[in-house]
Each structure stands twice: as structure tokens, then as C-alpha cells.
Amino acid sequence: MPEYATQPVRPMRITFGGADRSVLEPQGPLLTRRMSDLDGLFADGGAWTAAVADGDPVVYQVACSPVPERPTDLPQSVTTIQPGAVGGEFHMTKGHMHPVPQGEIYLGLSGQGGVLMFDGERAEFIEMAEGVIAYIPPNWAHRSVNTGTEPYRFLAVYPGDAGHDYGWVLQHGMGHRVRRAAGGSGYRLAPYAG
């Protein structure tokens, strides 16, 4: 049967699995991003190189449901970002722009973090915690950041045909960087500056 004639996904019940609610059941793909996968994203390249050499730790994982990324479907995923910093800049996701301009929502599940958004001119940061919903409008690149001392976990729901353009962030930046505040507690937004 041709792709355009494929029937939609059947209704299903999806639950949070694992003791820490870090997976969706039934399970789909699991994506693991290590420090080496974040080349060119941290301002302090020397600190990034040292972190890669020191065991190349897992920075974040994305556990997906089996709902496919195709038009008319709404895939879901749970992202878990580990705590830590590289040269004072908090652990983060790669960040991306949707090539097909579509909105997305994030729901904070546990920990402390935020969503950094950039439309090419303006940057916005929404603080996230359990029960907080962030709306990401179309045409805003977005990256999640763990600003706490425990794993930060959130649910994402997005249109299946939105796509993920990671190169956009490498080319345009994110407007700001999310760094540890002076004294080590909390965060501050700093100019991107490459």
C-alpha cells in the first residue's frame, strides 16, 4: 500500500514507565546524546574537549513513544537532561528549529530547567519545573537546559512532520547562553557571542 494510503495509528494508551518516569510505554526509539555529540555548542571548547576526554558522559536521553513522525500524527517523547556544566554553561540539548514551522509543547515532569528560544532576533527563556507547560511557537528555535542539581525531565508533544534542523542552531546560535550564576546557585543569561 502506498505511504499516502497508510491508515493512521490506532488509538493507544501511553503511560510513563520506569521508576523515575523516564520512558514512555509502549516504548519507541531511545536516543542517547553524549558530550561528544554536542561539538560546537558550548562556548568553552577547551572545557568541552576535557569533558569528552573524561569519559564522554551522557548529557541527555530522549525516550520516544511508538507514534511515528509523520504528518497528522502527534509523537511524544520524554527527555532527561543530566545535571552539570561545561565551563560554567549548563548541560543542554542540541536545540533545533522545525523546518516545517509548527508549534510544540513541553510539560515539566521533574527537576529544574528551562527552555531557551530564539527566533533569529529575540531570545526568550521559560523556567520549567514539574507541572509547568511551555508553548514553543512556530519559527522559534528551542533548546532545553538543566539548571538544577538533579536530572531535569520533560514531556514533548509535537507535530510529526515538523522535522528537526540542528544545523540552524549551529549557524545562528540561540541568542543567549544559560550559565551558572555567580556564587554557584541559580542561573544567568549571558550573550551568545559564538
Task: Quote the longest CA-to-CA distance of the chain.
Answer: 61
Q: What are phi and psi of 105, to 5 degrees?
A: -125, 145
Mean pLDDT of the 176-192 span: 92
Residue 6 pLDDT grade (very low, low, confident, very high; cuts 50, 70, 90): low
Residue 165: strand pairing partners = 97
User: Which residues lie closer than 8 Å to 53 by C-beta, 6 or more apart?
Assistant: none
Could you give the domains of the chain? 14-191 (2.60.120.10)
CA distance 19 to 99: 35
Q: pLDDT-derived band of residue 7, with 50, 70 and 90 as boundaries?
A: low
* pTM for the full predicted model: 0.94
Tell me the pLDDT of the chain averaged across its residues.
94
Question: Tens digits of per-residue pLDDT, 67-91?
Answer: 999 999 999 999 999 999 999 999 9
CA atoms within 13 A on the CB side of 69: 14
